Amino acid sequence: MTSNGYDSSVASEIIASFDAKPELLIQILHQFLERFTYISKDAIRQLASELNLSRAEVHGVVSFYHDFRTEPPGKHIVKICEAEACQAMGSRQLSEHAQSTLGVDMHQTKDDVTLEPVYCLGNCACSPAVMIDGHTYGRVDAKRFDELIGRLGSGKLGGKK
């Protein structure tokens, strides 16, 4: 993921790589997220214009899917699975713990950490699952969460899962 600010010419290249097909909006949005880290108001305007959609249509898709954020994320992104299997194994309590520990609500950023819900990490057999900076961890309880978060600044995250 890169974060070099929004560039309309790069955005146009991304849109063109999908032949400016409005039915590929979700795939285009994923590429925008990969390139720009979030979907800005400028991006929504440009997408609407180049895909011949209304801004409301683009905004509707962006706001419907939890993967698309409209604010710049922190340096670290923490996602907690909220799907049924993880809920059955304690992800709601884990989410409450994470919000309390980090001092931030879901979809917010504080101290360069963004906390987001996700609705399946494909790690159901090892629930509850979290993803931190693209690395998935299973069987995460409050103690393990605190250990993982403690490793954020050390650069030691991403090794043992």
Say how many C-beta atoms besides its own lie within 10 A of residue 132's C-beta. 21
**Which two tokens mark 7?**
């560039």
pLDDT band at 152 (very low <50, low <70, confident <90, very high): confident
- Closest residue by Cα to residue 146 from 94, 109, 106, 91: 94
pLDDT digits (tens, 9 = 90+) for 79-93: 999 999 999 999 999
pLDDT band at 66 (very low <50, low <70, confident <90, very high): confident
- In the chain, domain spans: 8-64, 76-150
pLDDT band at 67 (very low <50, low <70, confident <90, very high): confident
* Whether the predicted pLDDT of 45 surpasses 90: yes
Domain 76-150 falls under CATH 3.40.30.10: yes
CATH of domain 8-64: 1.10.10
Percent with pLDDT over 90 in the chain: 88
CB-based contact 42:10 (threshold 8 Å): no
Paired sense of beta strands 113-118 and 76-81, if any: parallel
In terms of DSSP H, where are the helices of the chain?
Answer: 8-17, 25-36, 41-51, 55-64, 84-88, 91-102, 142-150
* Whether the predicted pLDDT of 160 surpasses 50: no
pLDDT digits (tens, 9 = 90+) for 102-148: 999 999 999 999 999 999 999 999 999 999 999 999 999 999 999 99
- Would the pTM of this model clear 0.75, i.e. be above it? yes
